[in-house]
Amino acid sequence: GGNAPSLKRLYLLIDSRLPQPTLLDLSVMGWCDDYAIPYTLVLTKVDGSSRAHCVKLTNQLCMRYHSLYLGTNHDDYEGD
């Protein structure tokens, strides 16, 4: 019924060893955005990635957020 507690926040684990977030990662972020579910991205396995790659991945994820809420498009942003 209606007595189930609501989700307060989702922690989405992103594998930093991959070149970019997976389609599933992006889908979950989109779902959370569509349903106004607060979420926090957590980069995992950073000890297996270069610092530069982690910074690039973080920038890509931040630019995605920026483009969603400020109406700019940075899909081709490379973070260089």
User: Each residue of 37-60: pLDDT tens digit?
Assistant: 999 999 999 999 999 999 999 888
What's the pTM?
0.69
Q: Is the pLDDT of residue 79 over 50?
A: no
Cβ count within 10 A of residue 14: 20
Which residues neighbour 23 within 8 Å (Cβ) at sequence distance 6 or greater? none
Do residues 40 and 33 touch, judged by C-beta distance below 8 A? Answer: no
Q: Is the pLDDT of residue 3 over 70?
A: yes
